[in-house]
Amino acid sequence: MPHFTTRDDTHIRYKELGEGRPVILIHGWPLSSDSWDPVMMHMAENGIRAIAYDRRGFGRSDHAKSGYDYDTFSDDLADLIGHLDLTDGIGLAGFSMGGGEIARYMSRHGGEGVSAVALVSSVVPYMLKTDDNPDGVPQSTLDKMTEGMKNDYRHFFTGFFQDFYGDGWIKDKVTDEEKDWAWMTTMMSAKWATMKSAEAFGTTDFRPDLKSFTVPTLVIHGTDDRTVPIDATGRAVADAVPSARLVEYNGEPHAVFATQTDRLAKDLTEFFQAN
């Protein structure tokens, strides 16, 4: 698996499938680029060069001691684009916290080379509940997550993935093996990176970045997302960004890459083929 070196000498692993227009896929917390595999395969079969990378501290990338903030994350994305010598016609798709990299890249790096973006179950524009963001997640909920990770990191994620994948009282939406993979992938990450990244996506306000979304923007979000509530995120982006089109996956949880794999792959491929 190839890698590139960021401006602060962190080694980031990435992978590619297919040829054609480049689309960079950015994974969510606390997983790795492997979560994009089915989408990458579909894109590659339909004339797209699909590229995905492991965020610093996650998957097979370096467990860097610092840089778990969105300015650095967006710089890492810019460094990948530079490493691959991509100059125009770039598509960006971000799942969950990966949407934050897109938002900050569009503002901090002027969206250089990007012609279309997709936000999937994304934390953009603002996760935290405040007086001017009443549909967000309460600080107490984020504090409980932090405490759970501190007290029993491995046990915490067993419970976390139940909501992440939308487990039900009678029937779960994904297999136990899918949740086992997510748990094992999380254990590959650095605990420090996981906790600092959670702080970043939970408290970073991307509302000022939204004015930089001047390209076609697809927003996909499950209406039953218990991890990243749709009212504070997907619907808020659709209201604020004139170029955005919202596609709601009715009754779906956060992890639509696993619960609606074929639909997601088709929707993203068709969007980037057209834009």
Q: Catalytic amino acids?
A: 96, 225, 254
| Beta-bridge partners for 3 | 13
Secondary structure string (H, E, C) spanning the chain: CCEEECCCCCEEEEEEECCCEEEEEECCCCCCHHHHHHHHHHHHCCCEEEEEECCCCCCCCCCCCCCCCHHHHHHHHHHHHHHCCCCCCEEEEEECCHHHHHHHHHHHCCCCCEEEEEEECCCCCCCECECCECCCECHHHHHHHHHHHHHCHHHHHHHHHHHHCCCCCCCCCCCHHHHHHHHHHHHHCCHHHHHHHHHHHHHCCCHHHHHHCCCCEEEEEECCCCCCCCCCCHHHHHHHCCCEEEEEECCCCCCHHHHCHHHHHHHHHHHHHHC
